[in-house]
Amino acid sequence: MTNGNGAPPEAAPPPQLNVLAQYTKDLSFENPNAPTSLAPQQQQPAINIQINVSANNIAEHEYEVTLSVEGKAENGGKLMFSFELSYAGVFRILNVPQENLHPLVMIECPRLLFPFAREIIATSVRDGGFPPLMLDPVDFVGLYRQNMERQAAAQAATQAKPS
């Protein structure tokens, strides 16, 4: 393909994703039943983890993405520990087509933040007197699809209601 005068067209600038900052927005760790909860347990605790991603456009081409991780461990109906972490980053994204921007922000940005959030959680749980909690890798593509399906279902339900 040429631009009309026999020369190839100018190549589009490559997409760019830069991390400008990353930081802990909020961190809470609770060990409400210590020191009893620190004693050897008969069975492994049940651990429940919730992960959410949110994003805000804070400037042209800049997005703050927050990875929120909440978790708790219970054994025999007693809370052993709980935590909440909001870990965020500011990302500059350039030369990305509009239709690819939302998935990039909601999948790739939290994927870059996750190892740091995982380390903060492991350290907090260890510092609370328990073995470090090493979170399993997260399928951010699957999480994104779930959230998009949930939003589509909620939108369809809203539109189906008579006025």
Which pLDDT value is given to residue 11? 77
Which pLDDT value is given to residue 115? 98
Which pLDDT value is given to residue 1? 46
Which pLDDT value is given to residue 6? 54
pTM of the shown model: 0.84
Which pLDDT value is given to residue 2? 47
Which pLDDT value is given to residue 8? 54
Q: What is the mean pLDDT of each run of 10 residues along the chain (163 residues)?
A: 53 91 98 90 92 96 98 93 98 95 96 98 96 95 91 83 60
* Sequence-separated contacts (24+) of 96-105 with Cβ below 8 Å: 96/15, 96/17, 103/144, 104/17, 105/55, 105/63, 105/65
CA–CA dist 115, 137 (Å, integer): 9
Number of H helices, E strands in the chain: 3, 4
